[in-house]
Chain A
Amino acid sequence: MFKFRDISIRNKLILMQVFTSVLVLFVVFGVFIYTDINSYKVRKKDSIVSLANVIGTNSISTLQFQDQEAATKMLAELHNVAPEIIHAGITDANGQVFASYSKPGEETFKIPRVLNGKAYVFINNQLFVSNPIMNNDQILGRVFLEIELSDLQQIKEYKYELAAVLLSFAIVFSFLIALLIQSYISRRLLQLVKTMKKVGKTGDYNKIITDDGKDEIATLIQVFNKLMQQIKENIEKKDQFIGIASHELKTPLTSIKGYVEMLDLMQTEPQKKQFIQKALSNVNKLERLVKDLLDVSKIQSGQLQLEMQEFNIDSLLNETIESVEMVSPTHKIIRTNDCDNQLIIGDRQRIEQVLLNLLSNAIKYSPGENLIEVECEKTEKELIIKIRDFGIGIAKEEQLNIFERFYRTKDLSMHISGFGLGLYICRDIIRRHYGKIWVESTGKGSVFHFSLPIKHSLQTQQTVV
């Protein structure tokens, strides 16, 4: 169903103005047409009443001398004087019809009952007039006239047509004017809405809207700017905190790890060694989390440095797959093809981090399956690595968000640990390599793609940048 509140402010303003002007014009035209038609009626009535007067005056002698023929003859001549007369009649002092005239084709004259004592009456498009015939204060009889107002209908139609044409013009003009005026109010609101939507989508809180107005919209914009400022400051504080915290956590953690590793080497008693190794695996997990946080902090502050070197992608893939398979024996990782020992310029460790992340994600999100496929695709400019799992897949609306910071799946049936930073870091690393990362997903699994420029195209890209 149509709801007024669902229309945009812009259209509301236009609608309001058009509606108001149309309403006003409607009333004005209505009054004009009404008075116009009324004055036409009054004029017509006046002229017919004077005609009735003339007829009456001319009928005095015919009534006095009871000359019906002369009276009838006189009335018959009305046909030439006023063709719109349908019926005319003269009654004598007793109210009996003395003489009458009817337009050819019309019924014979009858004293019109509609008058009911009134001097004139309009019924539909007919005018009835009754006028006394006076002679020296003595009423000798009455004249009755029945007029067809054939031009009244025409006049009405003409007026209505004119009003309709003018109204349509008015609607068009008021629409155009409204279109111009509304922008003054709605433009600023729409700009604010647009900016807010953009901020909501991109998370870029640096947007400040300039507005020199002093009305409520200006206040709204000022409040918005202030909020943006506060959010920005809060984010900066949080990022700072993450940086400091991860840094501070890392130092003692590294030393714990060292000691636990040493203990592991020294211990031979199976029971104790098992505990130490449990502790070590948790320390490693913790270290990964802290490293992720540290990476994010570096990305935020722009301190993430890449150590660019040339390396063979095939050997990196093989190494990474081997190490993942060692930790996760549940899944078999198959390379469907090799990459012709393609050489890539990049930070080998960071690309490995991306691969590790994607592979462990693939394992994490396909519980109960046992296969992961890694595929290579080479085009003229870039190399695309595809990592395919056969798990639950990712809902369409989530596909864009998974690369955001701290994003955790909304699917509550899965319990996945971690901060939700992995893909965010992956995206940043790949972007810094002038590549792209994206996901294609169906209900039967997901395929994560990332592309890396091949040596020569990277050089051209770097020069362009």
Chain B
Amino acid sequence: MAQTGEQEANLKAAFIYNFTKYIDWGNYNNENFVIGVMGKAPIVESLKQIAKTNLVNNQRIEIKVYNRPSEIGKCDILFIPKENRFSLKSILDRTGKGVLTISEQPEFAKEGTAFNFVIINDKLKFEANLKAISSAGLKAGSQLLKLAIIVD
């Protein structure tokens, strides 16, 4: 998969959007569906493109960029791009219940993010940490999990 960085970002953004179809956040309020991104990354543009034309649970999608962990506010998904310099722990400490954490660095799923993108055989796959998903108070659909590489 000789993809340019932009194509890879688009694909990951699409995956993130598709995750929302299989994740049950439980309680819905009337606010926007917030996807937070830790730091600047190409995926922000891709997510913004999706947000223009798609809804999640009939809510508009809002993209927020947090420059440091202390900025992390209320969000439904927190994406931790590989450009992130802050320690994972400092980030996870700031995320509470109802936040789906998605990363893209090896071993991150084992260390506590719910989903983690990996490239296997030139194909984009994702790891899932079931403990992290349930401790975040979320439910993941079986159709999603059957495609995931389950870690711990």
Contacts and interface: CB of A to CB of B under 8 A. Distances in A.
Contacts of B21: 64, 135
B86 interface: no
B85 interface: no
B124 interface: yes
A184 interface: no
Interface in B122-152: 123-126, 141, 143-144, 146-147
B124 A61 contact: no
Contacts of A64: 14-15, 18, 21
B22 interface: yes
Nearest to B17: A64
Contacts of A62: 147
Contacts, number: 27
A443 B25 CA distance: 125
A66 interface: yes
Interface string B1-40: 0000000000100110010011000000000000000000
B147 A67 contact: yes
A250 B11 CA distance: 142
B121 to A, nearest CB: 9
Nearest to B22: A61
Interface string A53-74: 0000010111011110010000
Interface in A29-73: 58, 60-62, 64-67, 70
A58 B147 contact: no
A61 B18 CA distance: 8
Most buried by B among A60, A62, A65, A66: A65
Contacts of B11: 66
Nearest to A68: B123
Contacts of B123: 66
A58 B143 contact: yes
A67 B126 CA distance: 11
Interface string A97-136: 0000000000000000000000000000000000000010
Contacts of B22: 61
Contact of B15 (A60, A65, A135): A65
B143 A60 contact: yes
Contacts of A135: 21
B17 to A, nearest CB: 9
B146 A65 contact: no
A47 to B, nearest CB: 23
Contacts of B146: 61, 70
A160 B117 CA distance: 61
A220 B94 CA distance: 118
A262 B123 CA distance: 155
Nearest to A74: B146
Nearest to B146: A70
B116 to A, nearest CB: 14
A65 B11 CA distance: 9
B62 to A, nearest CB: 21
A65 B125 CA distance: 8
Most buried by B among A60, A64, A67, A70: A64
A65 B126 CA distance: 9
A81 B141 CA distance: 24
Interface string B91-132: 000000000000000000000000000000001111000000
A66 B143 contact: no
Interface string A63-93: 0111100100000000000000000000000
B82 to A, nearest CB: 20
Contacts of A66: 11, 123-124
A55 to B, nearest CB: 13
Contacts of B125: 67
Contacts of B126: 65
Contacts of B143: 58, 60-61
Contacts of A60: 143
Contacts of B124: 66
Contacts of A58: 143
A70 B145 CA distance: 11
A450 B14 CA distance: 127
Interface string A265-279: 000000000000000
B53 to A, nearest CB: 12
Nearest to A136: B21
A64 B141 CA distance: 14
A135 B17 CA distance: 14
A66 B123 CA distance: 9
A135 B20 CA distance: 13
Most buried by A among B22, B126, B141, B147: B147
Interface of A: 58, 60-62, 64-67, 70, 135
15 contacts: A58-B143, A60-B143, A61-B22, A61-B143, A61-B144, A61-B146, A61-B147, A64-B14, A65-B15, A65-B18, A65-B126, A65-B147, A66-B123, A70-B146, A135-B21
Given A64-B15, A65-B144, A67-B147, 14 more contacts: A61-B18, A61-B22, A61-B141, A61-B143, A61-B144, A61-B146, A62-B147, A64-B14, A64-B18, A65-B147, A66-B11, A66-B123, A70-B146, A70-B147
Nearest 7 A/B pairs, CB to CB:
A61-B143, A64-B18, A67-B147, A65-B147, A70-B147, A61-B144, A61-B147
